[in-house]
Amino acid sequence: MKYTRFTSDYYNVEANVSRFAISDKPTVYNVMFKVTRKNMPFAEQLNHIQGALKEFNNTRIPQAKPVFVRYFLSDAANQLTELQRSLNNTPCAVSIVEQPPLNGTKIALWCIFQTEVEVESSADAFIVKHNGYSHIWNTCLRSSHGQAEEQTAKLIENYRELLRKHNVTLAGNCVRSWFFVQNIAAIGKAVSTACKNTFGKLQANPLLANLVIEGNHSDAKYIASLDAYALKGLKPEQISYQQTANVIATSIQYGDRRQVIVNGVGETASEPDVCKQADLMLDSVVGLLGKVEASLSDLASVVIYLRDYSDYTVMKAWAEYRLPDVPKVFVQAASDCRERLVVMEAEAIVDKGDEKFAEY
């Protein structure tokens, strides 16, 4: 993995960039954009971060297409309308969640770019195609049916029906999902239980890279919002899973590379010290990555969720020491366990192909 930095003085935005490239194969970029002028109102921060995204794409990687973006907002109820007005004809999957950036800004942006792909958009999905694979992104899915358990189950069942339109299944093709839960302290465990039960009922692998985390929306009637990523064209033997007590890793094998999706949570058996929890979690991540011939130097992106905003300063220093170059963003979001102070999700890509399978 190659790491670089991008700075737009005009837009007052900086970004950390990862680049995974193999000669004559699709290149994948992960970019975390952050505003540097914190005193601007939201509309200006939004304009600046979107301007920097276009500048980066046009000047640094004109051959690449954006395939997925996630906007992290500080106040969705007051910011969503302005953001949605700016998204007309956005040529990629768009995820939006209220998880306040912990650097003091009102917005942060995670973007994935790829080369040599065809993209198509429908009313219910954004699809990225290359070499027989279809990467199917669904974002901001919601249901207002019933209470926590019912809404969650209905949300998953609705997603299964969307996948059927593309001739794929939840059990065989979904490899990653995010449940963003409002009022997680009160209903988080109910949502987590409903996820486990409904995925199990639908025969999805229990080790699916499914993250249940706090994330607010502009409308209180929706208990949760679902983002999901499915892959069409996979063979069952291309996917494998590893786990420890606090980390799950999903490995997807291609002919030219290996993609590893990691979800880790702070170890609550330790003292209530965020750095100790983070160290134990990251040590487990290192162990699981080693099992698939990867390491921290193969990480493409990291999102770090902190329960307590006052932990940001010490955790920022921790991450600069242990994950110095990886594109990362810190946001405020709790898990369904109040003793868990930190949660991390990450993706690694490693140059380890298997000729039995089609290339990426």
Bridge partners (DSSP) listed for residue 20:
28
Nearest to 174 by CA among 197, 205, 151, 216: 205
The CATH superfamily of 237-360 is RutC-like (3.30.1330.40)
Give the 3-state secondary structure percentages of the chain, helix then strand then coil, rounded to 5.
30, 35, 35
| From the candidate CATH numbers 3.30.1330.40, 3.30.420.40, 2.60.40.10, 2.60.120.650, the one assigned to the domain spanning 1-120 | 3.30.1330.40
CA distances from 140 to 96, 97, 213, 277, 293 (A): 7, 8, 14, 30, 34
CA–CA dist 195, 212 (Å, integer): 9
| pLDDT confidence of residue 146 | 84
Strands (E), the chain: 2-8, 13-20, 28-35, 64-73, 93-98, 107-115, 118-121, 126-130, 133-142, 174-181, 209-214, 224-232, 239-243, 247-253, 258-265, 299-306, 328-332, 342-350
Q: 305 is written with which tokens?
A: 């969720």
Residues 6+ apart with CB under 8 A from 337: 265, 268
Helix-helix angle 184-201:148-164, to 10 degrees: 40
CATH fold for domain 133-232: 60s Ribosomal Protein L30; Chain: A; (3.30.1330)
Q: Are 25 and 34 in contact (CB under 8 A)?
A: no
CATH 3.30.1330.40 domain position(s) in the chain:
1-120, 133-232, 237-360
Helix-helix angle 274-291:312-322, to 10 degrees: 30
Q: Are 303 and 110 in contact (CB under 8 A)?
A: yes
Q: Are 213 and 178 in contact (CB under 8 A)?
A: yes
- Which stretches in the chain have pLDDT values below 70? 203-207, 269-270
Among all chains, which residue has been given the structure tokens 């540097």? 36
Q: 251 is written with which tokens?
A: 């490995």
* Residue 346 main-chain phi, psi, to 5 deg: -150, 160
CA–CA dist 136, 227 (Å, integer): 11
Consecutive H or E run containing 52: helix 42-59
H helix runs in 92-178, sequence order? 148-164, 170-173
Residues 6+ apart with CB under 8 A from 61: 29, 113, 115
| pLDDT confidence of residue 196 | 85
CA–CA dist 50, 44 (Å, integer): 10
